[in-house]
Amino acid sequence: MALTIGFLGTGIMGAPMARHLGRAGHAVRAWNRSPGKAAALAQDGVSLAADPRAAAQGADVVVCMLSSGPVCDEILLGPGGVLPAMAPGSLLVV
């Protein structure tokens, strides 16, 4: 069963994870604070999201692979945060 996955953070750990999920046939929408890092994933079927909320909207799963706890808090809970954009019943993996 293919899932829609919002992926936040495509650095050293996040990029390979998002790449493998895309190659496995899941619909992956990735966002990264430095957009160029996420752009390379397009060749693996990963679409790019303009912002974290766009990556999370309608996703079955949201994966947060950001650099630190405070950064995760800001992106998930801060103004314009991701949590309110997530679908009811979706899964958050931090």
pLDDT in tens, 12-39: 999 999 999 999 999 999 999 998 888 8
CB distance 26 to 5 below 8 Å: yes
Tokens of 86: 């997530």
Entry pTM? 0.93
The Cβ of residue 81 has, within 10 Å, a number of other Cβ atoms equal to: 16
DSSP 62: E
Where do we find the tokens 């909320």?
53
Work out how many domains the chain is built from and give that number: 1
The secondary structure element, H or E, covering residue 51 is: none
- The CA–CA distances, whole Å, from 63 to 18, 55, 81 equal 9, 10, 14
Average pLDDT, whole number, for the chain?
A: 94
Q: What is the mean pLDDT of residues 65-78?
A: 95
What mean pLDDT do residues 45-53 have?
95
Range of the domain at 12: 4-93
